[in-house]
């Protein structure tokens, strides 16, 4: 079998034994497996040949990109892992049409750098942007910090190329903004976590790069007051708020512990710390005036000053240069390292309506100690879109207590009309949640789609569908 794989992709691109170590464990270190082999195809045709081989031999296939997921989506015991890392061409950047055509193995930050040279941005961004690859972010429908303004990954893709479970290549690399010609198969595969096809290339939507940013850390007396700030800024700037991120006190404290040289955001510590960023493209908002300040920064400072007088803002620091802006973002982008800095850590990734975030957190202040006295919640939130990363450092080492914590979170989220999975995907870690919480009719429809497209059940088996 290994010899047959070598005939498809070349001997140097079939890894076995110790050479598979960096693929066999994900970033969290929690999900470790023993694949049959790792194949590294160079193009879509080789991906197709590998999947046809897997069908013929009955071998399960697990696609892998940057392997920076948090839900165990690349666990691959006995499976052929297909790494997309060699499909790394940026085929085309078309500034007038504001699109980029890229292959699945391109690292997200490389897309950022390539399009920035054209005065454009691909706005999807998160802490793992330096290792995450396009195939992975599409397969999980990644979110990140700019969803508030630009949407999730699905909103940023015009077309895809994918190898289906039969090995056939589906070319729907549409460059159209309007294509009402049947089922939206692009959206079906984006977020399917490699269970319905292996995405090999995509047409990405680009946006004009903001001419200026106004970025600040803001201390608020409450989360409802923070939402008032968000809404006021949206009105003043015409919907130009790009990020609105909530970090509570514990996040700030642990960040200082694990990052030498990290500082408090304010002179005095506060419980509710908000990172807000506004990006503008219009010259009238971006070109500095006689005082050297961009108008967008003046807008932000004026809103903050007004709300400070009203008591709706307790403190604020506006970044005066790029170095200060990056320091603010580094504090937020360290969230995954913070939540996993102590073991065990129970990671949950939930979404509730924006005005229910405070309600959920208030309820859990009572509910969590009932389940596990002494447990500590480790929270960070994309407050602008209602996504809460509610992780827990449990006091108990009992796995049943850990499961009870997850169930308690799910139950309170359900009562508020939320979702137990916002942006990390399902993988294997959330299969019990899918079984408990997903609408059974919806689950049946998903199983029917899986069976129709993957009758042999070879693509990423044991993931997403309980």
Task: Give per-residue pLDDT as tens, 294-331.
Answer: 999 999 999 999 999 999 999 999 999 999 999 999 99
Predicted local confidence at residue 452, as pLDDT: 97
> Cβ of 426: how many Cβ atoms within 10 Å?
23
Nearest to 75 by CA among 119, 15, 38, 31: 31
- Average pLDDT (393-399) is 96
Tokens of 370: 């009932």
All structural domains of the chain: 2-83 (3.30.43.10), 90-208 (3.30.465.10), 212-335 (3.30.70.2190), 342-424 (3.30.70.2740)
Residue 240 has pLDDT above 90, yes or no: yes
30 pLDDT above the threshold of 90? no
Q: Provide the β-strand partners of residue 101.
A: 92, 203
pLDDT of residue 372: 98
Tens of pLDDT along 254-284? 999 999 999 999 999 999 999 999 999 999 9
Mean pLDDT of 52-73: 94
CB 167 within 8 A of CB 52: yes
pLDDT digits (tens, 9 = 90+) for 132-149: 999 999 999 999 999 999
pLDDT at 265: 97
Has residue 375 got a pLDDT over 90?
yes
**Whether the Cβ atoms of residue 201 and residue 172 lie closer than 8 Å to each other:** no
Collect all residues with Cβ–Cβ distance below 8 Å to 257 and sequence separation of at least 6.
341
Phi-psi bin for 304: left (phi > 0), alpha (psi -120 to 50), beta? Answer: alpha
For residue range 82-91, what is the model confidence (pLDDT) as tens digits?
999 999 999 9
Block residue for tokens 């990290």? 262
Enter the DSSP assignment of 25: B
Give dist(CA 142, CA 71) in Å, integer.
12
Q: Is the dihedral of CA 377, 379, 384, 387 positive or negative?
A: negative
Q: The pTM is what?
A: 0.93
Q: What is the DSSP letter of 91?
A: E
Rounded to an integer, what is the distance from CA 30 to the centroid of its chain?
A: 18
């Amino acid at each position: 079998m290994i010899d047959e794989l070598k005939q498809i992709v070349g001997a140097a691109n079939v890894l076995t034994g110790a050479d598979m170590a960096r693929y066999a464990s994900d970033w969290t270190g929690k999900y470790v497996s023993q694949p049959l082999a790792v194949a590294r195809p160079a193009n879509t045709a080789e991906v197709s040949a590998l999947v046809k081989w897997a069908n013929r031999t009955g071998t399960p296939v697990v696609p892998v990109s940057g392997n920076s997921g948090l839900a165990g989506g690349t666990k691959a015991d006995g499976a052929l892992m297909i790494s997309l890392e060699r499909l790394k061409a940026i085929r085309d950047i078309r500034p007038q049409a504001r699109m980029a055509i890229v292959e699945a193995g391109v690292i997200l930050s490389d897309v950022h750098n390539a399009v920035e040279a054209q005065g454009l941005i691909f706005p999807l961004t998160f802490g793992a942007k330096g290792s995450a690859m396009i195939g992975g972010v599409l397969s999980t429908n990644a979110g990140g910090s700019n969803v508030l303004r630009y949407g999730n990954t699905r909103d940023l893709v015009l077309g895809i190329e994918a190898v289906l479970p039969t090995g056939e290549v589906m070319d729907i690399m549409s460059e159209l903004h309007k294509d009402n010609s049947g089922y939206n198969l692009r959206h079906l595969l984006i977020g399917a976590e490699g269970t319905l096809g292996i995405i090999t290339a995509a047409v990405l939507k680009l946006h004009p790069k903001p001419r200026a940013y106004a970025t600040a850390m803001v201390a608020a007396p409450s989360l409802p007051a923070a939402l008032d700030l968000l809404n006021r800024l949206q009105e003043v700037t015409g919907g130009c708020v790009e990020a609105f991120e909530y970090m509570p006190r514990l996040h700030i404290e642990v960040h200082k512990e694990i990052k030498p040289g990290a500082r408090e955001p304010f002179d005095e510590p506060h419980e509710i710390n908000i990172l807000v960023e506004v990006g503008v493209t219009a010259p009238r908002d971006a070109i500095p005036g006689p005082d050297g300040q961009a108008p967008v920064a003046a807008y932000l400072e004026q809103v903050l000053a007004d709300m400070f007088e009203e008591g709706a803002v307790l403190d604020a620091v506006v970044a005066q240069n790029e170095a200060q802006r990056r320091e603010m973002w580094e504090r937020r982008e360290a969230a995954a390292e913070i939540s996993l800095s102590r073991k065990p850590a129970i990671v949950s990734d939930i979404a509730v309506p924006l005005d229910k975030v405070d309600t959920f957190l208030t309820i859990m202040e009572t509910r969590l100690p009932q389940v596990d006295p002494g447990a500590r919640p480790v929270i960070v939130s994309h407050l602008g879109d209602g996504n809460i990363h509610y992780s827990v450092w449990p006091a108990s080492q009992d796995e049943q207590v850990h499961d009870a914590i997850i169930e308690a979170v799910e139950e309170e989220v359900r009562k508020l009309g939320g979702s137990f999975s916002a942006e990390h995907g399902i993988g294997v870690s959330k299969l019990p949640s899918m079984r408990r919480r997903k609408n059974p009719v919806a689950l049946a429809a998903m199983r029917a789609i899986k069976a129709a497209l993957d009758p042999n059940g070879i693509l990423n088996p044991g993931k997403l569908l309980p």
